[in-house]
Structure formats: structure tokens, C-alpha cells
Structure 1
Amino acid sequence: MSFLLHIGFNNFVNKDKIISILTPDSAPVKRMIASARESGKIIDATLGRKTKSVIVCENDSIVLAALTPETIAQRAEEMENG
């Protein structure tokens, strides 16, 4: 059963497809974002706000979110625990 994880501003991601949730501050993550943007595999769910989380999915797509990684991880954990 797949669950949709709320990542802010009425945007959702399939929880089962998430590989990792990262902060966008490091140079390697910034390069990964730039590469995904060039190849068209980026989904910007920030609505113009500052990117606080980078969600890497199974299909090599990257989702940018305005919520912190801690908030998204907490929501995922709450979904798992009921």
C-alpha cells in the first residue's frame, strides 16, 4: 500500500519512492540539483520559498521542498506509527 507524504503547500510525494531527504546546503547536493534541473528531472514544490529539503526519489527525480528535512521525516514516521 502506498502512502502520500505531505511536503507542504498541498504537495505530496509517494513515501515508498523516497530514497533520501537532504539539506540543500552542501556543494555535492547543489551539483545534484543543477544536474537534475538540466536533465528535466526536478520538481520544485517550494512555491517560490527557500528550498530547505531535497527529496531524492527512486526514479532519479528530485523534489525541492520548503519544509525542513526534520519536519518531513517526522511526518513520515508519524504515518508509519499510525
Structure 2
Amino acid sequence: MVSASRVIAIVAPDSAPIKRLIQESRDKGTLIDATYGRKTRAVVIMDSDHVVLSAVSPETVCGRAAEEEVEEDG
């Protein structure tokens, strides 16, 4: 679980620039792999320069983040 207020972007891992970002983050030690061995379907970029790999789709991650914001406001 990550804080929605710390998320900068949620993107798909398919493009070459995102793959480069993942590799650079792995080299720096700021990569968090939360896929549990499954295929990476979303990449969450945090304001702390951490990159989180997720096995759920970007749409699902966005939906869950929106739900979290509503719960915090309500």
C-alpha cells in the first residue's frame, strides 16, 4: 500500500522510457517490486524517487487511489 498523496504518476510498463526508468531505479536501489512474481502491469512513480511495480492494471490502481482520497475526505 502506498499513500495516494505521494504518487506522481501511474503508467503502463510497455514503453522504452519507462523500462529505462525501471532499470535506473533498480540500479539506484529505489525500486519496490510488489508484483509477487506476476507480470508487471502498472508502474507507480513516487515523489521520493521510488518506483513501485504493481501486478494490477493502471486503471485499477487509479480507481483504488481515488477511493482512498474519498475516504480521507469523508
Q: TM-score, normalised by structure 1?
A: 0.82
Unaligned segments of structure 2, at least 5 residues = none
Q: TM-score, normalised by structure 2?
A: 0.91
2:36 is matched with 47
Matches within 5 A, 1:1-82: 12-82=1-71
C-alpha RMSD of matched pairs (Å) = 0.9
* 1:12-46 deviation line (CA, Å, top 9, x unaligned): 01111100001000000000000000010100000
In the aligned structure 1, how far is the partner of 2:52 from the partner of 2:67? 21
Following superposition, which runs of at least 4 residues in structure 1 exceed 6 angstroms of deviation? none
CA positional deviation for 1:76: 1.3
Unaligned segments of structure 1, at least 5 residues = 1-11
The structure that is strand-richer by fraction is 1
CA positional deviation for 1:77: 1.5
Secondary structure of 2:2's match? Answer: strand
